[in-house]
Chain A
Amino acid sequence: MISASKSADSGPEALKPAGSRIIRIEPSKGWVSLKIGELWEYRELLYFLTWRDLKVRYKQTLLGVLWAIIQPFFTMVVFSLFFGRLAKMPSDGIPYPIFTFSALVPWTFFTNGLAQASNSLVGSANLVTKVYFPRLAIPVASVLVGAVDFVLAFAILLCMMLYYGIVPTINIIWLPLLLALVIVTSLGVSLWLSALNVQFRDVKYVIPFLTQFWLFATPIAYPSSLLHQPWRTLYGLNPMVGVVEGFRWALLGAKTAPGVMVLVSALTALLILASGALYFRRMEKNFADII
């Protein structure tokens, strides 16, 4: 008898059985590794998620990307009126509008990142329950999207510096590090909040409070020089203090180098990021079940 099975006439595409790696699926025990390498493998997905959020962000809005500027700019106007003009808040010898705006630029990046990222996982529930990828990609993409807004607001800041005739000092070389600091802070807090939000929807209600309190706990409307040592250094435990004072020092040439204070901020920020990432990883395996 002749027996030629149907699959014998399959195309030239043959499977390469050797060389492919083996994925092992089992219950994870204890603290899991961060698997940063995996996130790198999925960098294209990270790119597309960021790109999606960017594309979608200002769809069907009238003012579009202008919103990126309007928000910090009008906050500056209000602060200048009330704190600068009426309350006569000291500003380390820098014109008050630019004093507060240079702080509002990184601050807006921070709070927008926080608000977007903390809701990002819950907002992507349909993805989380239907397809596998490193869940870290979702909040990371949300934070990265804010970078575009940041660049625009930063351009306005440069224009204002030109207007006030402020020439940045050589300290501007520290700016990339300060940028890294604000990203680390934003990401760290976002990881905590986004993972918590999967289980506790209270986070949604906490965020407006949190950002409001944090705004006043950060020297945006006032200089940190109002505090004396050692309180001033301790103040750096709020990582946004280091960011804001660092920005002023690097860009506007504020007299006192915030050295130790920024260091304290950087350490706190790294601690938040590391603990946030660990917490996120630990909760990650249950996301699909409880989201």
Chain B
Amino acid sequence: MSDTVIKVEGISKKFRIGSAEKAAYKTLRDNITEAFSYPFRKTSELFFRHKPSVAKDIWALKNVSFDVSSGEVIGIIGRNGAGKSTLLKILSRITEPTGGFAEIRGRVGSLLEVGTGFHPELTGRENIYLSGAILGMGRDEIKRNFDEIVSFAEVEKFVDTPVKRFSSGMYLRLAFSVAAHLNPEILIVDEVLAVGDTRFQEKCLNKMDDVGRKGRTVLFVSHSMPNITRLCKRAILLENGTVAANGASHSIVNLYLNNGRDTAASREWTDMSKAPGTDIVRLRGIRIILENGCVMDTVDISQTFGVEMEYEVLKPGYMLMPYYHFYNETNIAAFDVHDTDKAWRRRPRPAGLYKSTAWVHGNLLSEGRMFISAGLTRVDAAQTQFHEKYAVTVQIVENLENDSPARGDWSGEMGGVVRPLLRWSTQYGDTHDSPQS
């Protein structure tokens, strides 16, 4: 399992912008005028010390190195222009690196686009063969998988219709289906998953998961962090063409997502004129607190903590409802909570200072960072008074030395946004009253 199948050593790629950008391709005339003017420019440089107007070089990738072991599923993330696509293009041998080298052991299949090689005039059946051949499948291989491809795409009735008459959904489904049945040892995928409706997307993801579990090596570029953490154990973060981080996917994703987001455990607004709110109510502060009232940014998984909101009601007589939204590091909404304190529900509040705290009991959330949005709305008029997105964050940690009850005797990775402690029961022997055939 540990032998290296992809070895990337100091890969760099230079692009020229400037003059090359103005005209995507040069005409012969450009070259000829350049050739004619070259001697003049050269002489003027000599006499007047003009700086020649050189095209600017851009390094799309700079000294990128990493290894991938056989059977690993690796996610590559980064902002637009970070060099993700260029890296995949180099590894797929579509374009050459300017420097460095990469070694790949095994048959590579790359999916940089859905529907590569599809021709609109050809029928679904013909396109399956054509696209299959272009992606690197042999004719026998396609023949063997043909029925499965068609049924996976759910286009059985239309195999002999030209794909130009397909709906765009059908087209994408068929295109993905062909690609999904590619069976290389190393698969390079660029964000082709987001096709079709939600149900089909789910099907695609499961298929990808399958591929990973069959021991194939997968390199996967995506902007969807849940998909990255779901499919990949390891991730590489690219920033401006260099490897910014390389490690366990959830921590890399965490790093990427926290970029540009506040990660404070408390926020205070001292200047009331700038505080969020309306002339009815103003927010004063939001804090993560322990039961003893201390503000804390890190909480043990089995510890209870509170999210406290301090606000001042300026105009009396309104029914107000504080609420919190909990998101995990991959931006998945864990849950929303609304104030259910019986003493103050549906009751017009007098003016004054309030503190509303929601207590999150231990053994509820999974480990990782939680981003909490806080808001307050009027109940009688459904009018949001303020809503602070990702106002505070809390890091749920798990210490295996301490008791981590929901884990049982398992020491590996655990999925999910929540990790509740459920009641388990076991029956032993004498189970013939259970329904069996």
A18-57 with Cβ < 8 A to chain B = 20-28, 44-45, 47-48, 51-52, 55-56
> Which residue of B5, B101, B106, B410 is within 8 Å of A25 (Cβ)?
B101
- Which A residues are closer than 8 A to B by beta carbons? 1-7, 10-11, 13-15, 17, 20-28, 44-45, 47-48, 51-52, 55-56, 59-60, 126-133, 198-202, 285-286, 288-291
> Does B134 belong to the interface (CB within 8 Å)?
yes
> Does B97 belong to the interface (CB within 8 Å)?
yes
A45 & B133 in contact (Cβ 8 Å cutoff): yes
> How many interface residues does chain B have, given as a range?
35 or more
22 A-B residue pairs with Cβ-Cβ distance under 8 Å, sorted by A, are A7-B71, A13-B214, A15-B185, A15-B215, A15-B216, A17-B105, A22-B105, A25-B102, A26-B100, A27-B96, A48-B130, A48-B134, A51-B130, A52-B130, A126-B113, A127-B134, A129-B94, A131-B110, A131-B116, A132-B92, A132-B110, A288-B94
Whether A201 contacts B103 in the complex (CB less than 8 A), given A10-B213, A28-B96, A126-B116, comes out as no
Residue of B26, B92, B134, B412 with most partner-chain A CB within 10 A: B134
Q: Given the complex, which residues of A lie within 8 Å of B135, measured CB to CB?
A: 131
Q: Given the complex, which residues of B lie within 8 Å of A52, measured CB to CB?
A: 119, 122, 126, 130
Whether A25 contacts B215 in the complex (CB less than 8 A), given A127-B117, A131-B112, A201-B27, comes out as no
Whether A44 contacts B139 in the complex (CB less than 8 A), given A7-B213, A10-B213, A26-B100, comes out as yes
Q: Given the complex, which residues of A lie within 8 Å of B100, measured CB to CB?
A: 26
> Does B70 belong to the interface (CB within 8 Å)?
yes
Digit string of B81-96 for contact with A (CB within 8 Å is 1, else 0)?
0000000011111111
Given contacts A26-B96, A55-B122, A285-B95, 17 further A-B contacts (CB under 8 A): A7-B215, A13-B214, A23-B103, A24-B104, A25-B96, A25-B102, A27-B97, A27-B99, A130-B94, A131-B117, A132-B93, A132-B110, A133-B134, A200-B31, A288-B95, A289-B15, A291-B25
B135 to chain A, nearest CB (A): 7
- Find the A residue at minimum CB distance from B132: A48
> Does B383 belong to the interface (CB within 8 Å)?
no
> Does B392 belong to the interface (CB within 8 Å)?
no
Main secondary structure of the interface of B (DSSP, over half): loop
B33-92 with Cβ < 8 A to chain A = 70-71, 89-92
Residue of A28, A59, A60, A286 with most partner-chain B CB within 10 A: A59
CA distance A59 to B119 in the complex (A): 12
Q: Given the complex, which residues of A lie within 8 Å of B129, measured CB to CB?
A: 48
- Find the A residue at minimum CB distance from B137: A44
- Which B residues are closer than 8 A to A by beta carbons? 3, 5, 15, 24-29, 31, 70-71, 89-108, 110, 112-113, 116-117, 119, 121-122, 126, 129-130, 133-136, 138-139, 185, 213-216, 409-412
Q: Given the complex, which residues of B lie within 8 Å of A4, measured CB to CB?
A: 412
CA distance A132 to B44 in the complex (A): 45
> Which residue of A6, A23, A26 is within 8 Å of B213 (Cβ)?
A6
B95 & A45 in contact (Cβ 8 Å cutoff): no
> Which residue of B3, B91, B116, B136 is within 8 Å of A127 (Cβ)?
B116
- Find the B residue at minimum CB distance from A203: B28
Q: Given the complex, which residues of A lie within 8 Å of B105, measured CB to CB?
A: 17, 20-23
Q: Given the complex, which residues of A lie within 8 Å of B3, measured CB to CB?
A: 17
A58 to chain B, nearest CB (A): 10
Q: Given the complex, which residues of B lie within 8 Å of A26, measured CB to CB?
A: 96-97, 100-102
A27 & B412 in contact (Cβ 8 Å cutoff): no
Q: Given the complex, which residues of A lie within 8 Å of B117, measured CB to CB?
A: 126-127, 131
B25 & A56 in contact (Cβ 8 Å cutoff): no
| 7 nearest CB pairs, A to B | A26-B101, A48-B133, A132-B93, A25-B102, A20-B106, A285-B96, A288-B95
Whether A131 contacts B94 in the complex (CB less than 8 A), given A1-B409, A48-B133, A201-B27, comes out as yes
Q: Given the complex, which residues of B lie within 8 Å of A202, measured CB to CB?
A: 27-29
B70 to chain A, nearest CB (A): 6
CA distance A225 to B101 in the complex (A): 59
CA distance A60 to B165 in the complex (A): 14
CA distance A6 to B231 in the complex (A): 12
A23 & B108 in contact (Cβ 8 Å cutoff): yes
CA distance A289 to B58 in the complex (A): 13
CA distance A56 to B31 in the complex (A): 36
CA distance A27 to B95 in the complex (A): 10
